[in-house]
Amino acid sequence: MVLFPLYGAAEGTAVERFTHHWVYIGQIGKFMRLARAAGCRDVVFIGALVRPSIWQVHPDLKGLTCVARALAAFRGGDNHLLSSMGKILEQDGFRLLGAHEVAPEILVPEGALGRVQPSERDRADIALGFAYLRAAGPFDVGQAVVVAGKHVLAVEAAEGTDQMLARVVELRANGRVNAPTGTGVLVKAPKPGQDLRFDMPSIGPLTVEGATRAGLAGIAVVADATIVAEPSRLAAAADLANIFVIGTLAGPGQ
């Protein structure tokens, strides 16, 4: 295994413990040369990346040959951008795999991850959340929504799930949310037709902390299509906060 951490995105991570080569976004030729020299054929995208501006890209000679395709990729949502970048690598002989394909144990299973189960009111909110994400999916905006009392409180956009939950905290503090504390659900799901190799929804202990601060009853995600970080710690945190975390097969498109 060889890691290719990106400057501006992977600093402070554990990459130094592994064989690795630092690259700038746009150094496609450098990546391909070093990957082939190491005998790499399969490529897995991991982690999060703030969408760069075109001026933050540092193309090498190979990258310059892809400029037209890269510019077209930037004119669209994140799923369009990532899929387009993936196609560039695939056209040069690499095989792209999702993190879940090489490590299926990272996926959320069906059912509750802790001892708490959603109520019928929660299940109604979950159903509405999935319905909203299914309807909004073609616009390639976000993967999460907060619903309470069958009322959409917040929708994820460029800020990400954690900041969306922080926004719900502010809404409650400002009296903009009438739903009592302990109600409402964070619902996350991949967009319909999304390429799960690049941008699969994820949750972890920090998500539980954010949902708890937001006064929600729980978290619902799509089983077998959501990554879970530190599942044991997540389940323990959910039980301590008395909120549910559940994986369901009734996601968008089902």
Cβ contact 56:8 at 8 Å = yes
pLDDT in single tens digits along all 254 residues of the chain: 999 999 888 898 899 999 999 998 888 889 999 999 999 999 998 877 666 665 566 777 676 676 666 656 555 555 556 677 778 888 889 999 999 999 999 999 999 999 999 999 999 999 999 999 999 988 878 899 999 999 999 999 888 999 999 999 999 999 999 899 999 999 999 988 788 887 789 999 999 999 999 999 999 999 999 999 999 999 999 999 999 999 998 655 44
Contacts 24+ apart (CB under 8 A), 235-241: 235/113, 235/114, 236/114, 237/205, 237/208, 237/209, 238/113, 238/114, 238/116, 238/208, 239/114, 239/115, 239/116, 241/208, 241/211, 241/212
pTM score, whole prediction: 0.83
- Amino acid, single-letter form, for residue 165: L
Cβ contact 126:244 at 8 Å = no
Who contacts 60 (Cβ-Cβ below 8 Å, separation ≥6)? 26, 27, 28, 29, 30
The Cβ of residue 248 has, within 10 Å, a number of other Cβ atoms equal to: 22
